[in-house]
A = this chain, B = another copy of it.
Amino acid sequence: MTIGYPKGAHRPSHFEPTPSSRSFASRGMDFEEMINLTNRYYLERGRAVVHKKPTPIQIVRVDYPKRSAVKITEAYYKEASTTDYNGVYKGYYLDFEAKSTQLMTRFPLNNIKAHQIEHMKACSAQGGVCFVLVYFSKRQECFLLPLDFVCEYYDHLVSDRQSIPYQVICQKGIPVSQTLTPRLDYLEAVDHYISLKGELYEE
Binding site for B on A (CB under 8 A): 43, 46, 48-49, 51, 53-57, 69-77, 80-82, 86-93, 95, 119, 122-123, 125-128
Contacts and interface: CB of A to CB of B under 8 A. Distances in A.
Contacts of A51: 81-82
A196 to B, nearest CB: 17
Given A57-B57, A119-B49, A126-B91, A76 B81 contact: no
Given A48-B126, A88-B93, A126-B89, A77 B70 contact: yes
The 7 closest A-B pairs by CB, nearest first: A91-B127, A88-B93, A54-B56, A72-B75, A93-B93, A88-B128, A88-B126
A92 B127 CA distance: 8
A51 B122 CA distance: 12
B128 A49 contact: yes
A188 B3 CA distance: 46
Contacts of A46: 122, 125
A76 to B, nearest CB: 5
A86 B86 contact: yes
B57 A123 contact: no
Given A88-B126, A89-B126, 9 more contacts: A46-B122, A48-B126, A51-B81, A54-B55, A54-B80, A55-B57, A57-B72, A71-B76, A88-B127
Q: Give the residue among A48, A51, A69, A126 with the most B Cβ atoms within 10 A.
A: A126
A126 B74 CA distance: 39
A22 B121 CA distance: 38
A123 B49 contact: yes
Given A57-B57, A70-B76, A73-B73, A49 B126 contact: yes
A54 B77 CA distance: 11
